[in-house]
Amino acid sequence: MLHLATPLRDRLADLTVADYPREACGLLVGRLQPDATHVRQVFPVRNLNVERARDRYELDPDEHARVAAAARLEGLDIVGVWHSHPDHPARPSETDRAAAWEGWSYVIASVSPGGLQDLRSWRLQDGRFEEEDIVDGQR
Protein backbone atom coordinates (compact mmCIF):
# COMPACT_ATOMS: atom_id res chain seq x y z
CA MET A 1 0.00 0.00 0.00
CA LEU A 2 1.27 3.47 -0.88
CA HIS A 3 0.32 6.38 1.39
CA LEU A 4 0.29 9.51 -0.76
CA ALA A 5 -1.42 12.61 0.64
CA THR A 6 -3.71 14.63 -1.62
CA PRO A 7 -1.33 17.64 -1.81
CA LEU A 8 1.41 15.30 -3.09
CA ARG A 9 -0.96 13.79 -5.65
CA ASP A 10 -1.84 17.32 -6.75
CA ARG A 11 1.86 18.13 -7.09
CA LEU A 12 2.38 15.05 -9.26
CA ALA A 13 -0.54 16.10 -11.45
CA ASP A 14 0.89 19.61 -11.84
CA LEU A 15 4.38 18.32 -12.68
CA THR A 16 3.15 15.80 -15.26
CA VAL A 17 0.80 18.27 -16.94
CA ALA A 18 3.55 20.93 -17.08
CA ASP A 19 5.88 18.57 -19.00
CA TYR A 20 3.24 17.20 -21.38
CA PRO A 21 3.78 15.90 -24.06
CA ARG A 22 7.16 14.82 -22.68
CA GLU A 23 7.52 12.20 -19.94
CA ALA A 24 8.05 13.86 -16.60
CA CYS A 25 9.90 11.90 -13.95
CA GLY A 26 11.17 12.10 -10.41
CA LEU A 27 11.62 10.48 -7.04
CA LEU A 28 9.42 9.65 -4.07
CA VAL A 29 10.95 10.25 -0.65
CA GLY A 30 9.59 8.90 2.59
CA ARG A 31 9.63 5.82 4.77
CA LEU A 32 9.29 2.19 3.86
CA GLN A 33 7.54 0.12 6.51
CA PRO A 34 6.67 -3.59 6.44
CA ASP A 35 3.00 -2.96 5.64
CA ALA A 36 3.19 0.19 3.52
CA THR A 37 5.25 2.91 1.89
CA HIS A 38 4.70 6.42 3.25
CA VAL A 39 5.58 9.21 0.82
CA ARG A 40 6.57 12.51 2.45
CA GLN A 41 7.98 14.40 -0.54
CA VAL A 42 7.77 14.32 -4.32
CA PHE A 43 10.80 15.57 -6.26
CA PRO A 44 10.95 16.28 -9.98
CA VAL A 45 14.15 15.09 -11.65
CA ARG A 46 15.29 16.11 -15.11
CA ASN A 47 14.58 13.59 -17.86
CA LEU A 48 17.85 13.12 -19.73
CA ASN A 49 16.24 11.17 -22.55
CA VAL A 50 15.68 13.93 -25.08
CA GLU A 51 15.52 11.71 -28.18
CA ARG A 52 12.49 9.72 -26.97
CA ALA A 53 11.11 12.04 -24.29
CA ARG A 54 7.52 11.26 -25.34
CA ASP A 55 7.82 7.62 -24.28
CA ARG A 56 11.03 7.19 -22.26
CA TYR A 57 12.67 8.72 -19.24
CA GLU A 58 16.15 8.63 -17.77
CA LEU A 59 16.62 10.14 -14.33
CA ASP A 60 19.51 12.61 -14.10
CA PRO A 61 22.02 10.79 -11.83
CA ASP A 62 23.36 14.04 -10.32
CA GLU A 63 19.86 15.14 -9.32
CA HIS A 64 19.15 11.62 -8.03
CA ALA A 65 22.23 11.85 -5.79
CA ARG A 66 21.18 15.30 -4.50
CA VAL A 67 17.69 14.05 -3.63
CA ALA A 68 19.15 11.00 -1.87
CA ALA A 69 21.52 13.17 0.18
CA ALA A 70 18.75 15.61 1.13
CA ALA A 71 16.49 12.71 2.13
CA ARG A 72 19.19 11.21 4.38
CA LEU A 73 19.61 14.56 6.15
CA GLU A 74 15.92 14.40 7.06
CA GLY A 75 16.08 10.76 8.13
CA LEU A 76 14.16 9.65 5.03
CA ASP A 77 14.89 7.42 2.05
CA ILE A 78 14.08 7.27 -1.62
CA VAL A 79 11.12 4.89 -1.71
CA GLY A 80 10.22 5.03 -5.37
CA VAL A 81 10.08 6.65 -8.75
CA TRP A 82 7.27 8.49 -10.50
CA HIS A 83 6.86 9.24 -14.17
CA SER A 84 4.19 10.11 -16.68
CA HIS A 85 2.81 8.26 -19.67
CA PRO A 86 1.68 10.95 -22.11
CA ASP A 87 -1.40 9.75 -23.98
CA HIS A 88 -0.98 6.20 -22.66
CA PRO A 89 -2.43 4.21 -19.76
CA ALA A 90 -0.88 4.33 -16.28
CA ARG A 91 0.46 0.80 -16.67
CA PRO A 92 4.15 -0.12 -16.69
CA SER A 93 5.82 -0.89 -19.99
CA GLU A 94 8.45 -3.54 -20.56
CA THR A 95 11.01 -0.70 -20.50
CA ASP A 96 9.69 0.32 -17.06
CA ARG A 97 9.98 -3.28 -15.83
CA ALA A 98 13.53 -3.72 -17.09
CA ALA A 99 14.69 -0.61 -15.20
CA ALA A 100 12.73 -1.23 -11.97
CA TRP A 101 14.09 -2.29 -8.58
CA GLU A 102 12.25 -4.60 -6.22
CA GLY A 103 11.14 -2.89 -3.02
CA TRP A 104 10.36 0.49 -4.58
CA SER A 105 7.00 1.93 -5.62
CA TYR A 106 6.59 3.07 -9.22
CA VAL A 107 3.87 5.68 -9.62
CA ILE A 108 2.72 6.18 -13.19
CA ALA A 109 0.55 9.12 -14.22
CA SER A 110 -1.48 8.91 -17.42
CA VAL A 111 -1.65 12.45 -18.81
CA SER A 112 -3.29 13.95 -21.89
CA PRO A 113 -4.05 17.44 -23.21
CA GLY A 114 -7.01 17.42 -20.80
CA GLY A 115 -4.75 16.89 -17.77
CA LEU A 116 -4.16 13.97 -15.44
CA GLN A 117 -6.27 10.98 -16.45
CA ASP A 118 -5.12 8.31 -13.99
CA LEU A 119 -2.55 7.75 -11.26
CA ARG A 120 -1.52 4.21 -10.30
CA SER A 121 1.31 2.61 -8.36
CA TRP A 122 3.18 -0.61 -9.04
CA ARG A 123 5.80 -2.75 -7.25
CA LEU A 124 8.14 -5.25 -8.84
CA GLN A 125 7.70 -8.73 -7.33
CA ASP A 126 9.71 -11.65 -8.71
CA GLY A 127 10.32 -9.80 -11.97
CA ARG A 128 6.66 -8.84 -12.51
CA PHE A 129 4.81 -5.64 -11.67
CA GLU A 130 1.90 -5.90 -9.26
CA GLU A 131 -0.40 -2.97 -8.66
CA GLU A 132 -0.48 -1.50 -5.16
CA ASP A 133 -3.28 0.55 -3.67
CA ILE A 134 -2.76 4.29 -3.28
CA VAL A 135 -4.40 5.72 -0.17
CA ASP A 136 -4.56 9.26 1.12
CA GLY A 137 -2.55 10.20 4.14
CA GLN A 138 0.78 9.89 5.90
CA ARG A 139 2.06 8.35 9.05
Can you give the pTM of this predicted structure? Answer: 0.95
Domains along the chain? 2-129 (3.40.140.10)
Q: Is residue 96 a contact partner of residue 106, using CB atoms and an 8 Å limit?
A: yes
Q: What is the pLDDT along the chain (139 residues), one digit of tens a residue?
A: 999 999 999 999 999 999 999 999 999 999 999 889 999 999 999 999 999 999 999 999 999 999 999 999 999 999 999 999 999 999 999 999 999 999 999 999 999 999 999 999 999 999 999 999 999 975 4
Q: Is residue 117 a contact partner of residue 84, using CB atoms and an 8 Å limit?
A: no
HSE of 49, CA atoms in CB hemisphere, 13 A: 13
Report helix, strand or coil for 73: helix
Q: What pLDDT was estimated at residue 35?
A: 87
* Helix (H), strand (E) counts: the chain: 3, 8
Q: What pLDDT was estimated at residue 138?
A: 54
